[in-house]
Structure formats: structure tokens, C-alpha cells
């Protein structure tokens, strides 16, 4: 079945760039997402990318997709203390029988002042 | 403002009791989902529904039940058959087929006492 993997923890200094990585196993994934979760809250959609794209940029966020290696990354430029949260990678292919997102285990980003 | 509302925010259950978690959305979304979140394990799919009066089991449906009598509402019942129900429960909704991702509620934290 589908599997999405992420490293559990990342620590960076304020002002540095953060890069959060994700690998997935389903080569038919057509939509890939990044969500942010602050403590005790629900998930907030940050950005998404379609599988026919290699890169997407949205202000401080850059998503890179390597379909050959099934690798997705999220780069946060000029990381701020407010970016401290858990970041989830997720994937889906609406054309398959599974019509729900599969999530990774989340990467906890800690931003040190 | 449109959104998705989960209640209550905190819920305590005694051993052997059934409890129902509420999820309501006014986004006119067709699909609704329930996920369970445990520390370090990401989100696991419990049930989802794409249309009124129809729903599908996810990866961990045992010990849970749902109904979808109205488009706006997708309540989750945690039954006494669920042996380890302490977790954070997240409800989400989406437009079908557009790959735009989910809108999440703020979650319900269920604790067995």
C-alpha cells in the first residue's frame, strides 16, 4: 500500500533556511501536499504540487518534486520562530480506489532564536 | 465565514462507554474524513464519506462508527470496542476530485479515564 516517510525532527536557527524532506512509495501519486500543525490545533494547508510539476514557489516556501526518486521537499526561507510546528507531507491519487490523503508521520521543526 | 467545526475540544470517556464526536462544515464540501493522530505516528484514516448516506472504512475503522445523514455533518462514535481510544481526532472536508487538499477542524482530544 501507500507509504509516506519523513524524518521526525529538524532544528534550525532563526533566519536560516529549513528543508523538510519526504519520500513516498506510490508512483501514481498525482497530488502532493504540505500541511502545518501548531500545538493542539488542526492542520493548515501550506501548499501543494501536481505530479507534472518539478517546483512550486509561494513567497517563502519552495516545493521541489523529484518523481524519479519519489522525493518531495519543502524549503522555508528566512525561517522565523513562528514557523515552529509539525509539518506533514501527504499524497493522493483521486483516480485510484483510495480517495483519501495518506500522511507522513510529520517533521517537528524547532526554530532557535 | 465558512469552516469546519469540531466539538467538544476535550472529551473524557469512562471505560465501556460510547462517545460521539461532532463534525460540522458549512463549506458545501462533498467529502468528509475522520483521522486519528497519535504522537509520532502521523494521521491514520478512520472513515470517509463522499456522499450523503454513504461512507467507507479507512485503515483503522475497528471500534468506530459514523453516519452521514446530512451533507454538513459527519459524527464519529467511539465505541467500547475501541480498546485504546485516547488520541487526538481530526475531521476534514474537501471538494471531490479537484486535488486541492483538505480543510481541517481544530480537533477533539479524547481521554479515557
Interface residue of B102, B103, B106, B111 to substitute, partner A, most A CBs within 10 Å? B102
Dmax of chain A from CA atoms? 46
Q: Do B42 and A99 touch (CB under 8 A)?
A: no
Q: Do A42 and B48 touch (CB under 8 A)?
A: no
Q: Do A103 and B104 touch (CB under 8 A)?
A: no
Q: Nearest CA to B31 among B99, B107, B92?
A: B92
Average pLDDT over residues B81-90: 93
Average pLDDT over residues B26-52: 92
Q: Is B30 exposed, middle or buried (0-12, 13-18, 19+ CB in 10 A)?
A: middle
Which positions in chain A touch B111 (Cβ < 8 Å)? none
Residue A98 — very low, low, confident or very high, per pLDDT cuts 50/70/90? low
Q: Do A103 and B42 touch (CB under 8 A)?
A: yes
Task: Name the E strands within chain A.
Answer: 4-6, 9-13, 18-24, 31-37, 43-50, 55-58, 61-66, 71-76, 85-92, 102-103, 107-112
The answer to whether residue A52 scores a pLDDT higher than 70 is yes
Q: Does B60 touch chain A (CB under 8 A)?
A: no
The answer to whether residue A2 scores a pLDDT higher than 70 is no
Q: What mean pLDDT value characterizes chain B?
A: 92
Could you report the per-residue pLDDT of B7-17, keeping only the tens digit for each? 999 999 898 89
Annotate A72-83 with b (16+ C-beta within 10 A) or e (fewer).
Answer: bbbebeebeeeb
Please tell me which residue of chain B has the smallest CA distance to A33. B101
The answer to whether residue B40 scores a pLDDT higher than 80 is no
Amino acid at each position: 500500500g501507500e507509504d509516506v516517510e519523513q524524518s521526525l525532527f529538524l532544528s534550525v536557527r532563526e533566519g536560516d533556511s529549513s528543508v523538510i524532506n519526504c519520500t513516498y512509495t506510490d508512483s501514481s501519486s498525482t497530488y502532493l501536499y504540505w500541511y502545518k500543525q501548531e500545538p493542539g490545533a488542526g492542520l493548515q494547508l501550506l501548499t501543494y504540487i501536481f505530479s507534472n510539476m518539478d517546483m512550486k514557489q509561494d513567497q517563502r516556501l519552495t516545493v521541489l518534486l523529484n518523481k524519479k526518486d519519489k522525493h518531495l521537499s519543502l524549503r522555508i526561507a528566512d525561517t522565523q520562530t513562528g514557523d515552529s510546528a509539525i509539518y506533514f507531507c501527504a499524497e493522493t491519487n483521486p483516480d485510484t480506489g483510495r480517495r483519501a490523503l495518506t500522511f507522513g508521520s510529520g517533521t517537528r521543526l524547532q526554530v532557535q532564536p | 465565514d465558512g469552516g469546519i467545526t469540531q466539538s467538544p475540544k476535550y472529551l473524557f470517556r469512562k471505560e465501556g462507554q460510547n462517545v460521539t464526536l461532532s463534525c460540522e462544515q458549512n463549506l458545501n464540501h462533498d467529502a468528509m474524513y475522520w483521522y486519528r493522530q497519535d504522537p509520532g505516528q502521523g494521521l491514520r484514516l478512520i472513515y470517509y464519506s463522499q456522499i450523503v448516506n454513504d461512507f467507507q472504512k479507512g485503515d483503522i475503522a475497528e471500534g468506530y462508527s459514523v453516519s452521514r445523514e446530512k451533507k454538513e455533518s459527519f459524527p464519529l462514535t467511539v465505541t467500547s470496542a475501541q480498546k485504546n481510544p485516547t488520541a487526538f481526532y481530526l475531521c476534514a472536508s474537501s471538494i471531490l476530485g479537484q486535488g486541492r487538499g483538505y480543510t481541517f477542524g481544530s480537533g477533539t482530544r479524547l481521554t479515557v479515564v
